[in-house]
Chain A
């Protein structure tokens, strides 16, 4: 049996590499290892914030981190992973509590840059929210394997060849056709919904 990975023994870049390869156990460990320290840290900085909001901000942080890694936008870290995660969580809390105004006390800080960075992970209002939720229901009604293939292809960024190995498809053409068919089906749902 292989030895269980301990993230305390790994540097941030190795953690990123393992997660980008689909190692969810490492993501779980990142989540649980740093969570107590984050909750403690956030509680001190936002004492009036309720516990659930702080936990939610930790979820936001881990999810944003995961999405950055999976989309290959984050391939290496120049700081400790803990610092990176805490920074994202902190921003999430700032968003929630609109304490952003405090940052603008200092006129020499580039306001636009701050604004841009804060919008990086957490959008204010999503105008397409309703449509996305409708589509999510349709996606959940697709055959389980089709859902898995779409996720592997468009979320985890796997190549057709990699996916064929994961889901045991012998033919790349059949796999490609499955993807196209699923996408067309979902696209039709969008169009029908518009009508």
Chain B
């Protein structure tokens, strides 16, 4: 192999050849098997250099993790917890004061349990001051955003049945549907595809962007019932209920979506929001008849409130 060939191969592998030079080199590879073999061997060397860099990075990350682990003073934390627990135990054993027991072990205190039960049955009744914190913590406890959200919202929000309007019932029961299966469809190359972005924006709660970017999807995706279900949820969030209703009716009619129950539940909520109670009940009754464990209690509760 000539010096010139050697130089060209090196520049080729470094990505420095012009288009014209690269065409010449690649033509030569087609015509000359020996030359092609030479280039392949050099390529193998570059691949091995990549492997070397990967190994270096892995080592670097492992060291980084070790440093981070060392930076967390586990022994000190454990010692502190032990000291605090010991102090609490010592305090309790010397001062059998009910107020302290409320904090440390409320379940053992039967009066505390009684107060909690009364409050959770009906949040409208007068709440004894000593229990207010308990109610607040129970009702306002933040939900984990990342957990699969197949369980409809109202399960976690006890309400006073008779005083709630349809609008409020809608607000308490609607939550944009999210689960793992939605992100299984992720795809893309160096950058994200329009579909990736669509789903990603949905996950990030950018619902207006979801609606705006729907037209960027290809024709097949725009007709896909699973994609339309995502769009319907986004429309519901931004209060475009009529449009969401049309989509959900279409999804249910075509019966091809994997979100059949969810579509009926959402459609029921849309009708509820529009004050079309008969239609809402009709959809919710169908949801109920499907005996989905994620909806059983919630749909019963909502139907009883209508």
Identify the A interface with B (CB < 8 A): 24, 28, 31-32, 40-41, 44-45, 59, 62-63, 66-68, 72-74, 76-80, 83-84, 87, 90-91, 94, 99, 102-103, 105-106, 108-110, 113-114, 116-118, 120, 128, 131-133, 135-136, 139-140, 147, 150-151, 153-155, 157, 159, 176, 179-180, 183-184, 186-187, 190-191
Contacts and interface: CB of A to CB of B under 8 A. Distances in A.
Given A79-B197, A179-B10, A108 B224 contact: yes
Contacts of B197: 78-79
A28 B46 contact: no
B53 to A, nearest CB: 5
A74 B192 CA distance: 11
Overall SS of chain A's interface:
helix
B192 A31 contact: no
7 closest A-B pairs by beta carbon, nearest first, are A135-B48, A132-B48, A117-B187, A114-B187, A108-B224, A186-B45, A79-B192
Nearest to B68: A32
A110 to B, nearest CB: 8
A183 B42 contact: yes
A117 B226 CA distance: 21
B254 to A, nearest CB: 12
B186 interface: yes
Nearest to A70: B53
Nearest to A190: B41
Interface of B: 6-7, 10, 13-16, 38, 41-42, 44-55, 57-58, 60-61, 64, 68, 146-148, 180-181, 183-192, 196-197, 200, 204, 220-221, 223-224, 226, 258
B146 A40 contact: yes
8 contacts: A32-B68, A79-B200, A87-B196, A91-B186, A105-B258, A132-B51, A139-B48, A153-B14
A62 B184 contact: no
A48 B15 CA distance: 43
Residue from A73, A154, A159, A190 whose CB has the most chain B CB atoms within 10 Å: A154
B10 A183 contact: yes
B interface secondary structure, majority:
helix
Given A59-B57, A59-B58, 17 more contacts: A28-B60, A32-B68, A78-B191, A78-B197, A80-B204, A87-B192, A90-B183, A99-B184, A108-B223, A116-B189, A133-B48, A136-B48, A151-B52, A154-B13, A186-B45, A187-B42, A190-B44
A103 B188 contact: no
Nearest to B186: A87
A97 B224 CA distance: 27
A91 B189 CA distance: 12
A44 B6 contact: no
Nearest to A101: B184
Contacts of B183: 45, 90
Given A83-B200, A90-B186, A187 B48 contact: no
A73 B190 contact: yes
B261 to A, nearest CB: 16
Given A103-B184, A117-B187, A132-B47, A180 B60 contact: no
A24 B61 CA distance: 11
Nearest to B48: A135
A55 to B, nearest CB: 8
B68 to A, nearest CB: 7
Contacts of A83: 192, 200, 204
A116 B183 CA distance: 17
B146 A135 contact: no
Contact of A63 (B57, B146, B148): B57
B218 to A, nearest CB: 8
